[in-house]
Structure 1
Amino acid sequence: MHRVYRYVLPEVRAELAQWRSAAEQMPDEELRRQAIASMTDKQFHCEGGAVYAAANLPERHVLIPLIVAFQTISDYLDNLCDRSTSMSEQDFRQLHMSMLDAVTPKARLQDYYAYREEREDNAYLHQLVSKCQSCIAELPSYGVVYPYVKELVGYYCDLQVYKHVHPDLREQKLLDWWKAHQELAPNLSWNEFAAATGSTLGVFTLFLQASKSGLTVEEALNVRNRYFPAICGLHILLDYLIDQAEDIEGGDLNFCNYYESSAQTLDRMEYMVNESLHACTKLDNPRFHRMIVEGLLALYLSDPKVKEQQEVKGMTRKIMKRSPMTRLFFWLNSVWIRNKS
């Protein structure tokens, strides 16, 4: 936590200030509005993701700009698909090519706005992609992790495309997509698999691994297998758990709403918690990764939205019962930060 407060958070905010300044120069009003909103409303995504840089502090000058730029692309595109003017699958697919190009060394920049009317962004998206590419060029073991980074980013892009198309189409598209990839997570239902693909944590921990020299393929594959689907799935299911009332009101898709009852929701959440904690024991530096999992639980379950939903509040009490000291520490820390803000 000393590293996070002393180094990570100030440097994340400095990076975001630069990207906000760039966003403010966008000629197109709609693109500018969505870019600024994504950084205003989702700053904690970059702050949380950059915690991985605390595990290799000497390389934070590469990891923090990389994680912030990549997560900023993700949040910006999520706003463009979720809150903006298009419901075109072709448009969403082309926009998300930027994320694949961002993690692909020397990939050529494309016209990512080719299928939408709004397009004048003063090279904002190109700058973000180029920043990611320049950072990954400095990671000594990136070639080892690249196949797994590309795989996870590909799943993420598929999810963003299918979940944002017209509501009459999205569930069938998600089901068809899951059936084609069911063997990747045989113990998960379609909504849990989809949730797991929506997390960027697996990508961030692979960035961290790539910052170390001498990484082997076996080590990289082990990280991929431990984060996806368990830890990634827990991450996004927690997010959806606390957003249920909000998403029902807004007519947004929520993967927790597909459970048959609150009892089943609790059972599956506890399953994901146990799977994630077990996955941590199979990773190098297991205490760090367990800290990530406990931090996720504390961050989401201490959210003020929990108190507004009686069923979610009851589930939270059961999940937090007999919590280890690490989880309680992060719970109190999360509450303190929110109260301070």
Structure 2
Amino acid sequence: MRFSVPNGRVPTSPLKLMYRVYKYVLPEVRAELSRLRFLAESIPDPELRRQALASMAGKQFHCEGGAVYAAANLGQRHILIPLIVALQTISDYLDNLCDRSTSLDPDDFRLLHQSMLDAIDPQAPLRDYYACREERLDGGYLHELVRTCQSCVKQLPGYRHAQPHVAELVTLYSDLQVYKHIRKDLREPQLMAWWNKHRTRWAHLQWNEFAAATGSTLGMFMLFLAAADERLSEDQARLIRDAYFPHVCGLHIMLDYLIDQEEDRIGGDLNFCNYYDDQATLIERIGEIVQNAREDVRRLSAWRFHRMIIEGLLALYLSDPKVRQQSDVRRISKRLMRNSPLTRLFFWGNSVWIRMQQT
């Protein structure tokens, strides 16, 4: 079975995709981020305000990259772009709160991430997501992000079939955020125990690769795009989930961790690229994940679009300025970029250009 986004709207060439990104996606993402930034600036608690603003300043490219899925259905971008930006902003904001947290309480991290589960459920009530921490006065900022997501998913005509799979991915994401931010001596034992519950399903992965895959929002965004079609079936939604998780999602986050190694070392944060015997093994495993991701998306009828997503991920992360600042990462990047297809080189140049416009 294959799944197609309706009415031939999916761009199948890099030029068409980037035309839509430049003309529609980037301006509308930045407008939505400006609206959210205005709200964040009014957060009463100084620590919450600082982390909310820092997450948008340092991770804007997460929203820009995620919103590429809206380029596949421009007619629904008024729903998809605010939805993707809001959910990604929740993710980045909470990641900042947990990474640099004044707390190591798993109940705190679990409750904070309940906001993501509520955001993708249009019937969920709003809660006090800060109830387990000292900093609580955000002026309604997190509630506004949750409400934005709920309003958007309610407008997606095929969402009832996508929602269970989105919820599964968000649950895995939330589990990861709890286990990787608790006390340092508990992180690896908890992550390993969690992996043991799932390993029979994805036995070809190492535990750190599974954990990395759960940290991606791309599967959620693709399911949002699919749900913009009222004809989406339960089987099609499952096919999409399986085409994205674990390999496309895993590639996304392994690349993210690859370029953040020095930053994580300084911050004392767990990094999933540090669990290989040597660099050669790391390169080999990322290469295998790339190949598996390419094979997985071939099951989708618009596979050329998804192949561009894969090449775009490699270009976006390996062109990041952080790569040049780390000699080991620079060497790995050169190996991964060796014999790159023209599509990846095209996206590399565009990634560099977009960053230049933000400075």
Confirm or deny that 1:14 pairs with 2:31.
yes
Confirm or deny that 1:225 pairs with 2:248.
no
| Structure 1 CA distance for aligned equivalents of residues 146 and 356 of structure 2 | 35
| Structure 2 CA distance for aligned equivalents of residues 25 and 250 of structure 1 | 28
Could you tell me which runs of 5 or more consecutive residues in structure 1 were left unpaired when the two chains were aligned: none
Q: Secondary structure at the match of 1:263?
A: helix
In the alignment, which residue of structure 1 is the partner of 2:268?
251
- Indicate which of 29, 52, 58 corresponds to 1:35: 52
| Structure 1 CA distance for aligned equivalents of residues 269 and 239 of structure 2 | 34
Letter in 1 for 2:173: Y
Confirm or deny that 1:97 pairs with 2:120.
no
Confirm or deny that 1:123 pairs with 2:134.
no
In the alignment, which residue of structure 2 is the partner of 1:200?
217
1:82-231 alignment runs, 5 A limit: 82-231=99-248
Confirm or deny that 1:281 pairs with 2:319.
no
Moved over 4 A (4+): none
Q: Secondary structure at the match of 1:184?
A: coil
How many residues are matched? 341
Percent of pairs with identical residues: 62
Letter in 2 for 1:312: V
Q: Secondary structure at the match of 2:200?
A: helix
Cα deviation for residue 240 of structure 1 reads 0.8
1:31-70 alignment runs, 5 A limit: 31-70=48-87
Q: Secondary structure at the match of 2:232?
A: coil
Cα deviation for residue 338 of structure 1 reads 2.8
In the alignment, which residue of structure 1 is the partner of 2:19?
2
My pick for the range that moved more, 314-323 or 42-51, is 314-323
Letter in 1 for 2:245: F
| Structure 2 CA distance for aligned equivalents of residues 128 and 308 of structure 1 | 34
| Structure 2 CA distance for aligned equivalents of residues 165 and 273 of structure 1 | 30
**1:120-151: CA deviation from partner (whole Å, max 9, x where unpaired):** 11111111111101100100000001110000
Cα deviation for residue 308 of structure 1 reads 2.6
Q: Secondary structure at the match of 1:188?
A: coil
| Structure 2 CA distance for aligned equivalents of residues 79 and 235 of structure 1 | 19
In the alignment, which residue of structure 2 is the partner of 1:234?
251
In the alignment, which residue of structure 1 is the partner of 2:331?
314
Cα deviation for residue 257 of structure 1 reads 0.4
| Structure 2 CA distance for aligned equivalents of residues 17 and 246 of structure 1 | 27
In the alignment, which residue of structure 1 is the partner of 2:95?
78
- Indicate which of 303, 309, 327 corresponds to 1:292: 309
My pick for the range that moved more, 153-162 or 75-84, is 75-84
Cα deviation for residue 186 of structure 1 reads 1.2
Cα deviation for residue 43 of structure 1 reads 0.8
**1:232-269: CA deviation from partner (whole Å, max 9, x where unpaired):** 00000011111112212221110000111111101101
Q: Secondary structure at the match of 1:135?
A: helix
| Structure 2 CA distance for aligned equivalents of residues 15 and 307 of structure 1 | 31
Q: TM-score under structure 2 normalisation? A: 0.93
| Structure 2 CA distance for aligned equivalents of residues 164 and 80 of structure 1 | 10
Q: TM-score under structure 1 normalisation? A: 0.98
Letter in 2 for 1:105: P
Letter in 2 for 1:38: S
Letter in 2 for 1:30: E
Confirm or deny that 1:271 pairs with 2:271.
no
Letter in 2 for 1:222: L
| Structure 1 CA distance for aligned equivalents of residues 96 and 332 of structure 2 | 29
- Aligned CA-pair RMSD: 1.0
Cα deviation for residue 323 of structure 1 reads 1.1
| Structure 2 CA distance for aligned equivalents of residues 243 and 36 of structure 1 | 20
